[in-house]
Amino acid sequence: MKKMNKTLFAIIPIGLLLLAFSGCEESNDSMRLDSAGQAGSMARFAISKNNLYIVDNQNLLFFDIADATNPEPKGRVNIGFGIETIFPYRNNLFIGSTTGMHIYDISTPTNPVKLSVYRHVTACDPVVVQDNYAYVTIRDGVECRFGENQLDVVDISNLREPQAVSTYLMYNPHGLGIDGMSLFVTEGEQGLKIIDASDPFNLVFRFEINSFHGYDVIPNNGHLIAIGKDGLYQYDYSNPDNMTFLSKISVQ
Amino acid sequence: MKIYFCQLLAFLIVISGCINEDQPVAFPEGEVEGLKPIYGNLAELKDIRIEAPRQLERPGKIYRKGGFLYINELAKGVHIIDNTDPSSPEPVAFISIPGNVDIAAKGDVFYFDNYNDLVAVRITSGNQVEVLKRIEDVLPAGNNFPPGNDVYFECVDARKGVVTGWEATILVSPKCYR
């Protein structure tokens, strides 16, 4: 694995050149601060404490929002090409890109410090985090060439050395969300997969709902919101063995 | 080895021409099918306002806050849904925000992208929007390249305004390609 990382490191600048001109346009963030809301995994905006973080294609921008009505730009750091999504968790930002997951320390909010990069083949990839594990989906597509379709579980207990612990083949994973033992992955035309993540080394695929197109999800305390080309779907998953359909708002 | 191959392929594609000029792309003389940018009027593009609820057409990202859901309508704005009863969500309004894709909120202040600008917005009880602050040109123009690959296009001229979309057309001796 180490050797491969070194090889990759040498070759990645070449791949990045390409990504400068492609890259995945869609994307996202999430946060659980009381005063902020909760986004899906595709977000490019994230709020952590008194700061708003935004990723563009190459940079992480940060704004002081201690006074919410008066966001003040505080700087930016270059991350690399193909940056797509941002997920704040505790004192860290987990940034999804077409080349991997970047982990930043934001203990000093206006001085994000890069801790590590979990690299993989180039593909679109949002990330969510819970406790010591990050869940990363990797998807191929028109704008994310050379991709696989898979879900990686990554041990981040050492933030400087993220380690893959398990990998699963997927159909066409887009957004994802985790709440306790339940992991939800939207699978594009194949809808939504519900996965038991109580053992991160051995995820168990419970069942799927494939009656709609799935783009992103927000799970929260037994209540799931899913969005896709067909519209907005809501489910009750307080009993994970029996997802209950609540409502739908269809597209026109 | 597979990764190596992919990166190599990426390299080959790069040198085969993603950039506009000085690349071995054969830029055809005369007429060819391609795309041209649609430019928007700056004043109209910065007009943020509350409208009556409307149907979802091309929903994008979602955001949950309190008993409300906020659903992005790609490049057009945000649907506000009263989701106090998730069995019966009620659309209550639509905020028209040209170019919008992302949503975040702290307290009662929302942050939206409005093309290249970041705006801080408050939705007042009388269903009005108040733009508290606009930070111009802090976000990158995401539209300066057309969607897809292997396409000729009319080069973007920033003096003509902000690119709001692309349309198919017949180009004469195009100078841009991706």
**pLDDT recorded at residue A13:** 43
**pLDDT recorded at residue B100:** 95
- A123 closest CA partner among A101, A97, A103, A102: A97
What would the pLDDT profile of B31-83 be if each residue is shown by its tens digit?
988 899 888 887 888 999 999 999 999 999 999 999 999 999 999 999 999 99
How far is it, in rounded angstroms, from Cα A127 to Cα A136?
4
Q: Within 10 A of B2 (CB to CB), how many other CB atoms are there?
A: 9
How far is it, in rounded angstroms, from Cα B79 to Cα B73?
7
Q: Give yes or no for residue B24 having a pLDDT over 80.
A: no
Q: Give yes or no for residue A126 having a pLDDT over 70.
A: yes
Structural domains in chain A, sorted by start: 2-169 (2.130.10.10)
pLDDT interval class at B6 (50, 70, 90): very low
How far is it, in rounded angstroms, from Cα B134 to Cα B42?
14
Q: What distance in Å separates residue A211's CA from the closest CA in chain B?
A: 17
Residues 114-133 of chain B with CB under 8 A from chain A are 118, 120, 122, 132-133
Average pLDDT over residues A145-163: 88
Structural domains in chain B, sorted by start: 18-41+140-177 (no CATH), 43-135 (2.40.10)
pLDDT interval class at A90 (50, 70, 90): very high
Task: Find chain B residues with C-beta within 8 A of A251's C-beta.
Answer: 55-59
Task: Find chain A residues with C-beta within 8 A of B66's C-beta.
Answer: 37
**pLDDT recorded at residue B68:** 96
Q: Within 10 A of A241 (CB to CB), how many other CB atoms are there?
A: 9
**pLDDT recorded at residue B17:** 38
Cβ-proximal residues to B54 (8 Å cutoff; 6+ apart), any chain: B73, B79, B91, B94
Q: Give yes or no for residue A41 having a pLDDT over 90.
A: yes
**pLDDT recorded at residue B160:** 82
A59/B10: higher pLDDT: A59
3-state secondary structure of B57: coil
pLDDT interval class at A2 (50, 70, 90): very low
